[in-house]
């Protein structure tokens, strides 16, 4: 034991040298060049993002923003965006939680095909999603449904178009979340008298809370920025199917660039606030999830 102790304390020991380099920061000139290259490559993208935001901020003025908020059309778009994004998020979680859990916990025939199918809304161009929805609602059963409950070019079509894309992101997030939760927790709960449903509600779901919040954030933010499917499936009708992305399009089409930039800044601010809030809540809940994942 003494020999091992003295060997580890030797100044030429690799672990000792590595610790000294870590304390000093960078051990050699090549390390500094490597770090500088990483900062240059990554910083280019960060600088471009900051430049875009700064360009928007300096292009418009508070007066443009207040005039935009005073427009009845834009106020309607804000209300519809908040309503549709919230409903889309709730629907996405309602579907993504069971799909994510099943994909993470069970092997079944056709699992690979289902996995590829769930990625279609992510990899397809958004316009194709909208066109596919439009064609789907031209079939006889759904045309009959629309005589009773109009969907195409109405508010329900906005929610459905957002849902088809946003739900795919929520599914991917929750599948990863459930896969990272140790299944031993459920097994212990079931040996103590819980059935699988009770183990899911009492053990798995509380542990998955940070992931659920992250999935909700992604779904809400993705729905807020959705444009292509809504343009094709819902149209861009003022005071009817107008949401914030279509407002930007409509303002640009009539040459009101200042109003379009003001609405863009409003969308950006809403997304940033939502991300910060949910990340704060998710971080607060991470401790409980960690204790369940690592007994």
Whether residue 255 is predicted with pLDDT greater than 70 in this model: the reply is yes
Tokens of 128: 């194709």
User: What is the rounded distance in angstroms from the CA atom of residue 104 to the CA atom of residue 174?
Assistant: 9
| Counts for the chain of helices (H) and strands (E), in that order | 17, 0
- For the 62-293 domain, the top CATH level (class) is mainly alpha
Q: Structural domain boundaries of the chain?
A: 26-59, 62-293
User: What is the rounded distance in angstroms from the CA atom of residue 114 to the CA atom of residue 126?
Assistant: 20
Residue 291 burial (C-beta neighbours within 10 Å; 0-12, 13-18, 19+): exposed
User: What is the rounded distance in angstroms from the CA atom of residue 76 to the CA atom of residue 239?
Assistant: 6
pLDDT in the model for residue 188: 86
Q: For residue 156, what are the contacts with CB-CB under 8 A and spacing of at least 6?
A: 149, 150
Return the DSSP state at 124.
S
* Band (266; pLDDT cuts 50, 70, 90): confident
Whether residue 23 is predicted with pLDDT greater than 60 in this model: the reply is no
| pLDDT tens for each residue of 144-169 | 888 899 999 999 999 999 999 999 99
Mean pLDDT score, 251-276: 83
User: What is the rounded distance in angstroms from the CA atom of residue 130 to the CA atom of residue 162?
Assistant: 10
User: What is the rounded distance in angstroms from the CA atom of residue 253 to the CA atom of residue 235?
Assistant: 14
Report the range out of 6-20, 215-229, 279-293 with the highest average pLDDT: 215-229
In angstroms, what CA-CA distances link 203 with 63, 168, 186? 52, 25, 7
Tokens of 154: 């109405």
User: Residue 262: which of 45, 48, 75 has the closest Cα?
Assistant: 75
Whether residue 279 is predicted with pLDDT greater than 70 in this model: the reply is no
pLDDT in the model for residue 135: 94
* Band (27; pLDDT cuts 50, 70, 90): low
| pLDDT tens for each residue of 168-205 | 999 999 999 999 988 888 888 888 888 888 888 988 99
* Band (14; pLDDT cuts 50, 70, 90): low
Q: What is the mean pLDDT of the chain?
A: 83
Question: Which contiguous run of DSSP H or E holds residue 198?
Answer: helix 196-199
| pLDDT tens for each residue of 45-88 | 999 988 988 888 888 777 777 887 788 888 899 999 999 999 99
pLDDT in the model for residue 164: 95
User: What is the rounded distance in angstroms from the CA atom of residue 17 to the CA atom of residue 27?
Assistant: 10
């Amino acid at each position: 034991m003494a020999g091992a102790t003295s060997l580890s304390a030797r100044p030429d020991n690799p672990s000792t040298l590595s610790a000294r380099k870590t304390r000093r920061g960078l051990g050699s000139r090549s390390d500094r060049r490597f770090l500088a290259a990483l900062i240059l490559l990554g910083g280019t993208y960060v600088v471009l993002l900051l430049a875009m935001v700064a360009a928007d901020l300096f292009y418009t003025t508070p007066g443009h923003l207040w005039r935009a908020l005073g427009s009845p059309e834009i106020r309607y778009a804000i209300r519809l965006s908040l309503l549709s994004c919230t409903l889309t998020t709730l629907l996405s979680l309602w579907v993504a939680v069971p799909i994510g859990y099943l994909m993470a916990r069970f092997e079944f025939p056709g699992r690979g095909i289902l996995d590829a199918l769930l990625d279609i809304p992510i990899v397809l161009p958004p316009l194709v999603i909208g066109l596919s929805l439009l064609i789907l609602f031209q079939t006889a059963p759904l045309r009959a449904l629309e005589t009773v409950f109009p969907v195409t070019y109405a508010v329900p079509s906005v929610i459905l178009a957002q849902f088809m894309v946003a739900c795919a992101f929520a599914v991917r997030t929750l599948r990863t979340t459930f896969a990272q939760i140790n299944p031993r927790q459920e097994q212990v709960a079931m040996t103590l008298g819980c059935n699988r449903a009770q183990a899911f509600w009492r053990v798995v779901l509380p542990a998955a809370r940070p992931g659920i919040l992250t999935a909700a954030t992604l779904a809400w933010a993705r729905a807020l920025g959705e444009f292509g499917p809504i343009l094709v499936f819902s149209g861009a009708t003022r005071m009817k199917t107008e949401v914030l992305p279509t407002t930007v399009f409509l303002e640009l089409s009539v040459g009101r660039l200042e109003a379009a930039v003001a609405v863009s800044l409003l969308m950006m601010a809403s997304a940033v606030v939502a991300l910060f809030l949910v990340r704060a809540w998710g971080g607060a809940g991470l401790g409980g999830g960690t204790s369940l994942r690592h007994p």
